[in-house]
Structure 1
Amino acid sequence: MRNLLLIILTVLLFANCNQIKKETMFKDDIEFLKNIEGLEILSSGNSKIAVSGILQGRVFTSSSKGMEGISYGYFNKNLILKEEYKNNLTAMGGEGRLIFAPEVGKYATFFAPNTPQTAETIGPSKDMKSKRFIVESKTDKSIVCSSTMNILNANNYTFNIDVKRKVSILSSEEIKNELNIAYNNVSEVAFKVESWVKNIDSIQWSKQNGLLSIWDLACVKTTPKTIVIIPTKNKLDSVTNYFTPLTKERIKIENETVFYKADANYMNKIGIQPENVKNVFGSYSPELSLLTICTFNFVENEELYANCVWGHTKPYKGDVINIFNGEVNSAEDRNWPFYELETLSAQSELKPNEELYHSQTIFHFEGSKYALDVISKKLLGVALTEINI
């Protein structure tokens, strides 16, 4: 009887392991996504990304080892299975997705005018949730898409905009040139997402009516030991905190570097103000032997950034970098087994036909701790062997 129980337990354990492995393979995510509108696979050698230009230039996921590699990105499979994503694109996830800030406050794009701003009443402006883009051009390595959009804010002001988005997969040589690094014995994948927003109205945008920020978010699958690493320009005592208390065991700040647990085990979010920002940060998942790097265009001396802290009183004193840590908690109706690497553009009082531009590039490197350590020390100034949180 005892031997039978051991056999049953062993079978169940391996079945569970196989299920987890299957769910994280790139080829299986592609099979799941095969009926999504406009799905394209961009490739450079073994580097692959899954993207839909029609669904607002969305990158779903990526792999550094071809179809058999780990699928790094998170997207909401339940929403797709129920076909609810079609009118709720903002909740769809993906490693590269576009929304417009600010989320909350007087000029919020996630609340209708004259609506109490609560978790129960949140509702992104309609075009963010449902507008399809037109694919202008595509190759094996890039796709360009665009659309006009109307974005209504809580101040009852409508932004009439033309949006263009370009997604490009980078070759190994382009990755090394982009980051100015050399490395060996790692697999890599990187993609760059560029967004342009043009004011196509007849009047200039103003702070009194509200302004838009291009907000790019990368949803990444996590592990229990994943740590986000953010080098800062200045020595910090604290970061911007959102949603829930930020406990000491989840964050450490030392040597002008922020270390933050991104294990999807506690819903929280942090942010970095523009005066402290460098245009690079990343994360390390030892269980996957995975180092992720995020770079973005950042213009110093810009003054206006969308404030997305609930209950704020300074609408143009927002963050440039945000890290969201998800949580799987059925009691709170939360099923967010991912973390997000987020960057925001500055805001501007655009005149008619003037543009905002923002780019974000995600790099994944998979390899030994020694090989990844070389990259981390060069780009983040941190030895992976010295992380202690």
Structure 2
Amino acid sequence: MNRYKLAWVFAVSITIACNTATEKTAITDSAGTAAKGSYAYDAAFLKQHTSQVLELSSTDGNSKILLSADYQGRVMTSTATGDTGTSFGWLNYDLIAAPEKKKQFNPVGGEERFWMGPEGGQYSIYFKGGDSFNIAHWQVPSFIDTEMYTVVKSDNSSATFSKTASITNYSGTRFDIAIERTVRLLSKDQLAATLQTTIPAGVQFVGFETNNAITNTGTADWTKEKGLLSVWLLGMFTPTPATTVIIPFYPIPNARSFITDNYFGTIPTERLQVKDSILYFTCDGKLRSKIGLSPFIAKPIAGSFDFQKNVLTIILPQVNKNADYVNSKWEMQQNPYKGDVINSYNDGPLADGTQMGPFYEVESSSPALALQKGATGTYKQTTCHFMGNYDVLKQLAKQLLGVDLDTIKK
């Protein structure tokens, strides 16, 4: 018998008892009423409000992930403890249920979405040539925002999505692209091998790997002089007042200069603590702030710990310290290929008091893709969550991140 099963998300009976996001919503399935924040709630909600949702599930039904073809093969959410368990991905329920899409950007959420960089600068694909680098002119390309992807194939543990697109950057260079994105649910043995550790008995887990392939289908090579693209993966998660992002780095001389922390103004010291080889970033959804690490110091790992729900999240990007990375700052750049490889964003209220989330993000980027015509570049990332006894998770965090969770608690 195969270890994993793939099923279209089960049909459910849904009762909506709300007119606004602040009122209570009841979603009912065969097991009764699913609580908001549970995986079953999100599965039912997405089934109602999107057209093609796929579910990957372990044989015991504990490890599950939801994928959406409507949203570019996005991993919408996951659980480590079955249908009634915590749903790890942040979802924008109002926007997903809205009858019309937004013109500029549709932040529907999801714990890993496929985007491409650079965002800003003379090689940006989010601004038209000659426009000012401000929010009024910022436009997310439709092929990573509103366009549906084709489900190429699926088996009992994975699904592959595809899309072709064309985009012109700020400098006028056209890119013809073929995208293929495969999402694979990982077994305990596969995840342990990827992490190069043993997953302790009694710890509940879910893990998935994405493989993102980009092919240059145009008639010209992609060159640094005309602009390059990158794969950009962003995970949106639900914050709590006790959530901390933890990012280890190599303690080279002057390492602090390779950490960007002023994307949205100065971050208070109590919210960002940078030690010799690790940083702690408060991600409670209460202050808009962002950090980034250069490939010169970044390790191929980042994580977070939610002390309120006792959840350890680990993300494994690929890092190449000798490669060029696109720069996404919203300005004409002197160094367009000295960008970040790992980022983290904490959502918070805007100046007018409105707020998109709350959520927090952990992001990573591939190197700049200097692809000859017909060539393909790939980028992989693994995301996993662990729940269980605090002392056991503390040991796991020490092994993977080199951090003592008790220190963060204090």
TM-score > 0.5, shorter chain as reference: yes
Q: Note if contact 1:96-1:219 (Cα within 8 Å) is conserved in structure 2.
A: yes
C-alpha deviation, 1:376, in angstroms: 0.5
**Cα contact 1:150–1:158 (8 A) shared by 2:** yes
| Preserved CA contact (<8 Å) 2:71 2:145 | no
- Mapped to 1, the partners of 2:100 and 2:227 lie a distance apart of 30
**1:294 is aligned with what amino acid?**
I
Amino acid at match of 2:75: V
Secondary structure of the equivalent of 1:33? helix
**How do residues 38-57 of structure 1 correspond to structure 2 at under 5 angstroms?**
38-44=52-58, 45=60, 46-57=62-73
Unaligned runs of 5+ in 2: 1-22, 28-33
Partner of 1:316: 337
Which string of whole-angstrom CA distances, capped at 9 and with x for unpartnered residues, describes residues 154-202 of structure 1? 1122210110000011111211111121212211001111100010111
Paired AA for residue 57 in structure 2: S
CA contact (8 A) 2:224 2:370 kept: yes
| Aligned equivalents of 1:43, 1:86: Cα separation in 2 | 32
**Equivalent residue runs for 1:213-292 within 5 Å:** 213-235=230-252, 236-238=255-257, 239-241=259-261, 242-292=263-313
Q: Partner of 1:168: helix, strand, or coil?
A: strand
How far did 1:83 drift? Answer: 3.3
**8 Å contact from structure 1 (residues 87, 130) kept in 2:** no
How far, CA to CA, are the matches of 2:46 and 2:320 in structure 1? Answer: 36
Q: Partner of 2:91 in structure 1? A: 75
Quick check: 1:54–1:145 contact (8 Å CA) kept in 2? no
- Pick one of 325, 339, 350 that aligns with 1:305: 325
Residue 22 of structure 1 corresponds to 35
Aligned residue in 1 for 2:205:
188
Aligned-pair CA distance for 1:131: 2.6
* Structure 1 position 310, deviation (Å): 2.7
Q: 1:338 to 1:384 in 2, by over 3 A?
A: same
Contact 1:53 1:144 in 2 (8 A): no
Work out the CA distance in 2 between the residues paired with 1:308 and 1:88. Answer: 18
Q: Cα distance, 1:206 vs. partner?
A: 1.3
CA 291–269 in structure 1, closer or farther in 2 if over 3 Å, else same: same
CA contact (8 A) 2:105 2:139 kept: no
In structure 1, distance between residues paired with 2:315 and 2:281: 15
Tell me the distance in 2 between the aligned counterparts of 1:86 and 1:166. 27
Counterparts of 1:339-378 in structure 2 under 5 Å? Answer: 339-378=360-399
- Report the counterpart of residue 221 of structure 2 in structure 1: 204
Q: Deviations over 1:300-357 (max 9, x none)?
A: 421x111122334321110000001111458343222111110000013210111121
Q: In the aligned structure 1, how far is the partner of 2:149 from the partner of 2:105?
A: 12
Assess if the C-alpha contact under 8 Å between 1:53 and 1:143 holds in 2: no
* Matched pairs, number: 372
Structure 1 residue ranges without an equivalent (≥5):
1-14
TM-score, length basis structure 2? 0.86
Indicate the SS of the match to 1:190: strand
Which one is further off, 327-336 or 67-76?
327-336
| Contact 1:144 1:164 (C-alpha < 8 Å) held by counterparts | yes
TM-score of the pair, normalised by structure 1: 0.91
Q: Is the 8 A contact 1:226 1:263 kept in 2?
A: yes
> The residue matched to 1:60 in structure 2 has which SS?
strand
Contact 2:65 2:75 in 1 (8 A): yes
- Over 3 Å counting, the alpha-carbon distance change for 1:30 and 1:175 in structure 2 is same
CA distance in 1, matches of 2:209, 2:197: 17
Moved more, 334-343 or 213-222: 334-343
Cα offset for 1:147? Answer: 1.3
Name the counterpart of 2:6.
none
In the alignment, is the contact (CA less than 8 A) between 2:182 and 2:210 conserved in 1? yes
Q: CA offset at residue 109 of structure 1?
A: 1.3
Superposition deviation, residue 112 in structure 1 = 1.8
